Amino acid sequence: MLSIKNLSASVDGTEILKGLNLEVNAGEVHAIMGPNGSGKSTLASVVAGKDDYEVLGEITLNGKDILELAPEERAAEGVFLAFQYPVEIPGVSNVNFLKTAVNDIRAYKGLPPMVAKDFLKMLKEKQALVELDKKLSSRSVNEGFSGGEKKRNEIFQMAMLNPKLAILDETDSGLDIDALRIVANGVNKLKSLDNATIVITHYQRLLDYIIPDFVHVLYDGKIIKSGTKELALELEEKGYDWLIKPEMAQ
Amino acid sequence: MLEDKKQTFLANFVAKTADKDSSLAKQEALKALENLEFPTTREEYWKYTRVGKITNANYSQSPSFNVSDISRYLVEGLEAYIVVFVNGFFSEELSDISKAKGITICPIAKARKEYVDQFEQYFGGLSKHESQFFSAVNTVYNTNGVYLNIQKNSLVDKPIHMINLTDAENAAYNPRNLFVVEENAEVTIINSYETVSGSSFTNSTTEIYVKEGANVDSYILQNQSETSNQVNEIDVVQKANSTYTANTVTLNGGLVRNNYNIEVKGQGCETNLYGLYLTSGNQHIDNHTIVDHIEPNCESNEVYIGVMDDASTAVFNGKVFVRSEAQKTNAYQQNKNMLLTDNASAYSKPELEIYADDVKCSHGSTTGQVDEEAIFYLQTRGVSEVSARKMMIRAFANEILDNIKIDALRDILESKIDERFS
C-alpha cells in the first residue's frame, strides 16, 4: 500500500530524514519508535504533504506517486494524519468543516455531495465510536478542547474520512489511561484488511492497546532496526542506546 | 494655489444647489469654509489618509439619472421601507414609504419646508461642520437625504432601507440625513451605498438623536466601485437608557473614510460599534470612531475586523473618552486585522482617555496573517487550499457577521464574502 524509498527531507539545509525506506501493506499496523529528534514527526508531515521540506526520494500509495500531490489530494487518495498537536481553529465549526472535507474528497473521486441525512447518520455513528460529546462536534475545531478531547477529535475525524493509510503522530501523548483506551479502541475498530495504520510513539504503553505487526526504530533520519511487537518490549526494557551505539561506531 | 483648488472644488457644488436653506448651521458652515482647508496628513485626525484622490478629481453634481431598476440593490427576502436616491436625487418612483406607520419619513429638502420647528431644533446640532472640512461642505451643499422621525413608543414594523446609488461619471453628491428617534421608539435603519456605473464622490453626513429608552439598530453597507470615494460622518447623541448599535460593513470602494462621533449623554446607555472591512487592490479604508462617555453607568462595545488583500490599506482609530462624571463605565474596544499579502497594510490605534476612577475599560489591537498551520491541518482532511483559506477568513469575519440581527442581510453578506474569496 505505502512504499517509501530512499526518502530524504531537509529544512533550511539541515537534513532530517536521510534515506528512509518503509513498506506498509494493507491490513498491517506498523509502529515507529525512536528517541526525540530522530525524525518521526517529520516523516509524518512529509507523507501528509507539508511543504516546509526539501524532499528527495519516492513515496507511493497503491502504486501512485503522491509526492507531487497537494495535501488535500493526498487526503482524497486516502492519507490521514492524526496530529501530535491538533490545531485550534476558532470560528470554524467541527461539523461544517467535516462536511466540506467529506464532500471535497467525494468531488475528487467524482462522487456527488453526501445527502444531509446520511451525513448526520454517519456523524452520530462515528461520534459514538470515540465516545465524543455531541457538543464538541458543533463547537469550533479543537477550540478550548482538553488534551484528551483533541486526540479523540482526531480519531473522530479519521473515522469520518475513512482513510486507507492513517498515521497517528504521538496520539498517546497527553492522554490519561481512560482516554488512551478510548482512542485505541476507536483505532482498532476502524482497522480492516483494506487499510493500514502507522503509529508513531515514544512509549510501549500505547502498543499494549494497538498491537503492531511490525515495529521500526527511527534514528537520525533512518530506520535502523525493524522487528515484531517484541522489539517494542525490548526497547521499553533497554532503551535505545544498545541500538544507537553500534550505529555511531560505524 | 491651494486656495484656488479649494474654490474650484467648491464651485462644483455652488450653482447647482437649488435648495433654499437659511439654517443657522448652514451659515456657520459657510463661515467655517472660509478658513477650513482640505485635511492633510499633518493633522493627527487624517494622519494615515491622504484625500488627494478626492481633491484632485474633477467632480460635479450630476443633473439627472437613468436608473429604473433597483432590484439588485435590495436585500433579497427582506421586507423594508425603501428610500432611493440616485446621484443625490430622491426618486419617488423607486421608493416605497407609502404605508409607514408611526413615523415621518421624507427627503430632507421637503422636511426643511414642512417641519420647520423640528428642523431648526435638530439640524446641524451634532455635525462637525465648524471644524471638519467635509462636514462643512455637506452642511452647505447637501443635495438630499432623509429626514426621519420615529414617534414616541413606536416600534417600526419593518427596517428602513436607504439606497444610495450613482450612475454618472465623476458624480459628487452630499447626502444629508437627520434621524430623530423619540422616547422608547425602536427602529432598524440600513444605509447602502452602491455604484450602478461611473465613478463618484459621496460626502455623507448623518445626525442621529436617540432619545430616552430608544433603540436604534443601524447598518451601513458600502459597496461602491473602486473609482468611487466616500467620506461618511455619523454624529449620534444618546439619552438615558437608550441603545445605539452601528454595523459598518465595507466591501468595496476606492477611498472610504467613516467618522463616527457618539456622545453618550445619559445613564444606562448601551453603545455597540461593529465594523467589518474587506479591502483589495489599492483600496484605502479608514474607520475613525469616538465614543464619549459623559454620564455614569453606561456600556460600550466596539469591535472592528478587517481583511486586507493585495496592496490595500486599512486604518482604524477608535477613541473612547470616559469623563470624570462617568463612573461605572464599561468600555471594550478591539481591532483585529488579517493581512493576506506582504503589500497590504494596517494602521491601528485604539485609544482610551479615562478621567473617572471607577471604570472597567479595555482595548486591544492585533494584526496578523492567516494561520498556515490551520490551513495545512484543514488540507490534510481533504479541504482544498482555497476552501481552507475561505473558511479561515469567514471564521474571522463571523465575529462581526454574527452580530447582524437581520437574517436576510447576513445571508447576503456571507455569500458576497464567500464569492470574493473563491
Question: Is residue B42 within 8 angstroms of chain A, CB to CB?
Answer: no
Q: Quote the domain boundaries for residue A127.
A: 28-34+68-230
Q: How many CA atoms lie within 13 A of A138 on its CB side?
A: 5
User: Which of B317, B292, B291 is CA-nearest to residue B304?
Assistant: B317
Which grid coordinates are listed for A211?
A: 498491537
Report how far residue B185's alpha carbon sits from residue B119's, in angstroms, rounded to the nearest whole number.
19
Task: Decide if pLDDT at B78 tops 60.
Answer: yes
User: Which of B316, B303, B319 is CA-nearest to residue B351?
Assistant: B319
**Got the DSSP string for B274-315?**
EEEEEE-TT-EEEEEEEEEE-SSS-EEEEEEEEEE-TT-EEE
User: Which of B135, B197, B202 is CA-nearest to residue B162?
Assistant: B202
* Residues found in chain A: 250
For position B17, what pLDDT does the model report?
52
Question: Is residue A125 within 8 angstroms of chain B, CB to CB?
Answer: no
Which grid coordinates are listed for A236?
A: 521499553
* B270-290 tens-digit pLDDT: 999 999 999 999 999 999 999
Report the domain count for chain A: 1
For position B336, what pLDDT does the model report?
97
Report how far residue A212's alpha carbon sits from residue A24's, in angstroms, rounded to the nearest whole number.
12
Task: List CB contacts of A72: < 8 A, sequence separation 6 or more.
Answer: A104, A108, B379, B380, B381, B382, B383, B384, B385, B388
**Rg, Å, chain B Cα set:** 21
Q: How confident is the model at residue B19 (pLDDT cuts 50, 70, 90)?
A: low
Task: Decide if pLDDT at B13 tops 90.
Answer: no
Task: Please tell me which of B33-37, B241-245, B400-404 the model is most confident about, judged by mean pLDDT.
Answer: B241-245
For position B182, what pLDDT does the model report?
97
Question: Is residue A92 within 8 angstroms of chain B, CB to CB?
Answer: yes
Segment A223-235 mean pLDDT: 90
Q: How confident is the model at residue A249 (pLDDT cuts 50, 70, 90)?
A: very low
* A59-95 tens-digit pLDDT: 999 999 999 999 999 999 999 999 999 999 988 989 9
In chain B, domain spans: 2-265, 379-422
Segment B93-112 mean pLDDT: 88
Does residue A14 fall inside a structural domain? no
What are the angstrom distances between the C-alpha of A67 and each of A107, B331, B388? 21, 53, 21
Does residue A57 fall inside a structural domain? no
Task: Decide if pLDDT at A21 tops 90.
Answer: yes
For position B380, what pLDDT does the model report?
97
Mutate to test the interface with A, among B276, B338, B380 (most CBs of A within 10 A): B380
For position A219, what pLDDT does the model report?
92
Report how far residue B30's alpha carbon sits from residue B26's, in angstroms, rounded to the nearest whole number.
6
Residue spans of beta strands (DSSP E) within chain A: 2-11, 14-24, 29-33, 54-61, 64-65, 79-82, 89-93, 140-141, 165-169, 196-200, 214-219, 222-227
Q: Which of residues 343-372 of B touch A (CB under 8 A)?
A: 371
Report how far residue B254's alpha carbon sits from residue B283's, in angstroms, rounded to the nearest whole number.
5
Question: Is residue A86 within 8 angstroms of chain B, CB to CB?
Answer: yes
Indicate if ipTM > 0.90: yes
Which grid coordinates are listed for A69?
A: 500531490
For position B419, what pLDDT does the model report?
87
Task: List CB contacts of B6: < 8 A, sequence separation 6 or more.
Answer: B37, B38
Nearest CB partner across the interface for A105, out of B378, B382, B399: B382
Segment A130-156 mean pLDDT: 88
Residues of B whose CB is below 8 A from A48: 380
Are the C-beta atoms of residues B88 and B174 closer than 8 Å to each other?
A: yes
Does residue A72 fall inside a structural domain? yes
Report how far residue B138's alpha carbon sits from residue B143's, in angstroms, rounded to the nearest whole number.
8
Mutate to test the interface with A, among B334, B372, B376, B401 (most CBs of A within 10 A): B376
Question: Is residue A240 within 8 angstroms of chain B, CB to CB?
Answer: no
For position A246, what pLDDT does the model report?
61
Report how far residue B371's alpha carbon sits from residue A102's, in angstroms, rounded to the nearest whole number.
22
What are the angstrom distances between the C-alpha of B118 and each of A166, B88, B114, B142, B149? 73, 23, 9, 18, 9
Report how far residue B164's alpha carbon sits from residue B192's, in angstroms, rounded to the nearest whole number.
6
Which grid coordinates are listed for B363?
A: 482595548
Which grid coordinates are listed for B281?
A: 487592490
CA B188 to chain A, closest CA, distance in angstroms equals 27
For position B23, what pLDDT does the model report?
83
Segment B35-55 mean pLDDT: 92
User: Which of B397, B257, B378 is CA-nearest to residue B337?
Assistant: B397
Burial of B329 (0-12, 13-18, 19+ CB in 10 A): buried
Q: How confident is the model at residue B1 (pLDDT cuts 50, 70, 90)?
A: low
Q: How confident is the model at residue B8 (pLDDT cuts 50, 70, 90)?
A: confident
The CA-based diameter of chain A, rounded to the nearest angstrom, is 62
Question: Is residue A49 within 8 angstroms of chain B, CB to CB?
Answer: yes
Percent above pLDDT 90 for chain B: 83
- Give the three-state DSSP class for B407: helix
Region of poorest pLDDT, from B66-75, B286-295, B308-317? B66-75
Residues of A whose CB is below 8 A from B376: 50, 71
Task: List CB contacts of A53: < 8 A, sequence separation 6 or more.
Answer: A9, A10, A11, A16, A42, A45, A46
Task: Decide if pLDDT at B362 tops 60.
Answer: yes
Which grid coordinates are listed for B82?
A: 425603501
Question: Are the Cβ atoms of B381 and A50 closer than 8 angstroms?
Answer: no
Name the helix (H) or strand (E) containing B363: strand B360-368
CA angle A229, A234, A237 (to 5 degrees): 135
Question: Is residue B419 within 8 angstroms of chain A, CB to CB?
Answer: no
Region of poorest pLDDT, from A152-156, B214-218, B240-244? A152-156
Q: How confident is the model at residue A173 (pLDDT cuts 50, 70, 90)?
A: confident
Backbone angles phi, psi at B168, to 5 degrees: -125, 165
User: Which of B385, B303, B308, B372 is CA-nearest to residue B346?
Assistant: B308
The CB density around residue A162, as the number of other CB atoms within 10 Å, is: 17
Are the C-beta atoms of residues B162 and B85 closer than 8 Å to each other?
A: yes
Q: How confident is the model at residue B15 (pLDDT cuts 50, 70, 90)?
A: low
Task: Decide if pLDDT at A98 tops 80.
Answer: yes
Long-range interactions of A6-9: CB distance < 8 A, separation 24+: A6/A56, A6/A57, A6/A58, A7/A43, A7/A46, A7/A55, A7/A56, A7/A57, A7/A58, A7/A59, A8/A55, A8/A56, A8/A57, A8/A221, A9/A39, A9/A42, A9/A43, A9/A46, A9/A53, A9/A54, A9/A55, A9/A56
CATH number (domain holding residue A104)? 3.40.50.300
Does residue A112 fall inside a structural domain? yes
**From A72, which residue of chain B is nearest by alpha-carbon distance?**
B382
User: Which of B290, B309, B282, B322 is CA-nearest to residue B393?
Assistant: B309
Report how far residue B75's alpha carbon sits from residue B88's, in angstroms, rounded to the nearest whole number.
21
* B103-152 tens-digit pLDDT: 999 999 889 899 999 999 999 999 999 999 999 999 999 888 999 999 99
Report how far residue A166's alpha carbon sits from residue A152's, in angstroms, rounded to the nearest whole number.
14
Question: Is residue A108 within 8 angstroms of chain B, CB to CB?
Answer: yes
b or e along A87-103 (b: 16 or more beta carbons within 10 Å of the residue's beta carbon)?
bbbbbbbbeebbbbbbb
Question: Is residue B378 within 8 angstroms of chain A, CB to CB?
Answer: yes
* Residue B60 DSSP one-character state: B
Report how far residue B242's alpha carbon sits from residue B282's, in angstroms, rounded to the nearest whole number.
39
